[in-house]
Structures are given as C-alpha cells and as structure tokens.
Amino acid sequence: MAATEIVAVLDAGPLIHLDELGRLGLLSDFKQLLVPQAVMDEALRHRPGMNPDVLSNMEIISHPPPLPADLLKLADEFALHAGERAALAAGFQTHGTIGLILRSQRRGRVSKTEMLQLLRDLPARTTLHIHKDFLAVIVARAETEAIS
C-alpha cells in the first residue's frame, strides 16, 4: 500500500520506542514526517545508535511555529513535549507508539500476528511506561477489532 497523504508531527516517544522494537521503518508510511529539532535531539540522546536516515520522508524543523499565549499556558500546565507543542501549533493531532503500531497493521504494513506481538513486547523491549493490565485491555481490543 502506498504511503498516505498524511503529514505527521512526531514526538520523541514513538521514535524511541519504534527504534527499540527495531521497527522505525513503520514511520515511512506517511507522506511527510515533521520532527522538531528538539525532538530529534532527545531521541538521539536516548538512542545514540538510531539511524534516522531510514526515514526518507522525515523533515527536521529547526524553528517550530510558536504557540499562542493561551495554548502556551495549557502546554505548560500539561507539561507537553516539544513534538506535542509543535503539533498543537500546526493544528495536527498527535499519536503515540501504540496507535502507530495499530495503524501499521490497518495499513497492511505488518500482519495481525506481528502487530499483536509488537504490542505484547512493549514492556520488555521498550522504555514505554504502561500498566500491564491496561496493555492487556488494548491487546484484547486489537485481537477482536483489527481486521486480518
């Protein structure tokens, strides 16, 4: 399936976690990936061996658009990260590692079995913090609702 016309703004989390899973390439299924410089710096601090070159659709944003004062206050209150702030400023919705893994199966990039395995592997193979019972609920939903 061809990459969608969707432009995505990434936060450090999905970059780090997908790299930990060895599946950074799943992010190539976007027309363009916008990554604020601060996000890339953070991701590389955590994953010095990460190779962002595998993502030919990625564009580093040196100067993300500034947030209006009211949104800036909200961003501070909710301790948003650089990527989340850039997405907010650009009017994009942000998505996390789990959503991206599920989407990759929906888009036919990985099989259902592989998607479920990636989800189950999250606690052991990545630094994503998630409660095991909550993850079990998500896996159960994915098993039931994802179309094979």
Positions that interact with another protein (CB under 8 A): 4-6, 45, 77-80, 93, 95-96, 98-103, 106, 130, 134, 138, 141-142, 145-146
- Nearer CB in complex with another protein: 29/89: 29
The CA distance from 141 to 119, in Å, is 11
Name the token pair of 38: 């601060």
**Min CB(95)–another protein separation in Å:** 5
* Beta carbon nearer to another protein, 63 or 75: 75
Report the alpha-carbon distance of residue 54 to residue 50 in Å, rounded. Answer: 10
- Pairing type for strands 58-61 and 32-36 reads parallel
- As measured in angstroms, the least distance from the Cβ of 103 to another protein is 5
Instruction: Decide: helix, strand or coil at residue 108.
Output: coil
Supply the minimum distance, in Å, between the C-beta of residue 56 and another protein.
19
